[in-house]
Amino acid sequence: MPLPKYAYFEGEIVPFEDAKISVMTSGLHYGIGAFAGVRAYWNEDEEQLFVFRAYDHFTRFLNSAKLLSFELGFSQEDLIEITRELLRKEGWREDAYIRPLVYAANESIGILRLQDLTPEVTIFTLPFGGYVPNEENTHITFSSWHRIDDNAIPARGKITGAYANTAFIKTDATRAGFDEAVVLNRNGHVSEGSGENFFMVRDGVVVTPPVTDNILEGITRRTVMELLREEMGVEVVERTIDRTEVYLAEEAFFTGSAVQVAAITRVDHRPIGSGVMGPIASGLRDIFFAVVRGKNEKYRHWNTPIYEAVKAK
């Protein structure tokens, strides 16, 4: 994976190698920060790079910062413009990933009060393809770890320190030979994957855990719920899911900015449905990838172009 050439750091775009922090930085020691994961998609026909749902991603980024009592002084539009400038300077002509990060920049030891911390924002971009190796045939397990509780660390924010929980979940699953894991909340109900939202199909209805079951309020989650309803005519229900329901599902899939839409075909060595990607996940993937690449005019407002439009020949 090639490294970026540039990063937004301490208020300006600098060479990537100059974007460095002190080993005493509080955000590094105590996981006090928040981030976003945003994708940009290359459209070969238009020779255009589109950032998908940039405004929504930066809204959630600012909300995550708000949970930490950080006042950043940026609007969504400010952050989008910085991102556009970064992507133009990099000149990516392939799918790319955008990582905004806000962190406690104080150089001190000792757990400080959030209101005493000084936040700093950095952003970088890099080429990025698939997240899980088997997007159409993902094998998962139920994790022995619980999803963080919203009364411990805000589950609806992308808080950096919370991803130690994700690391435990992902590590144990992959060491056991699975592609991913689904994690339960403290009440024993399905929450999400290690870094993905979870959906299943029961009796032709798509079901996903509600935001009150300690899930991240996913932007891709919101996207696919709309596409399922509006483009595929499928009923989508948000409700609590029990573990054994998943074993009986006709289909299951993960969604997220990194994972996109990945079909789950086995859980704990049990086949989901027929054990292959089903028609709802397959159809959704086709629609989703057309939308994110700007090929569906109805949803073009979700696509932020980066380069000047190429004139028709």
CATH class of 6-127: alpha beta
Q: What does 248-269 look like in DSSP terms, one character per residue?
A: T-SEEEEEETTTEEEEEEEETT
Residue 271's SS3 state is: strand
Task: Report which residue type is found at 120.
Answer: E
Spell out the domain ranges in the chain. 6-127, 138-292
* Burial (CB count <10 Å: 0-12, 13-18, 19+), residue 157: buried
* Residues 119-174 pLDDT 10s: 999 999 999 887 777 899 999 999 999 999 999 999 999 999 999 999 999 999 99
Query: Which candidate in 158, 170, 295, 298 is catalytic?
Result: 158
Residue matched to tokens 């002509």: 93
CATH class of 138-292: alpha beta
Note if 170 is an active site residue: no
* Residues 56-111 pLDDT 10s: 999 999 999 999 999 999 999 999 999 999 999 999 999 999 999 999 999 988 87
- Is 296:290 a contact under the CB 8 Å cutoff? yes
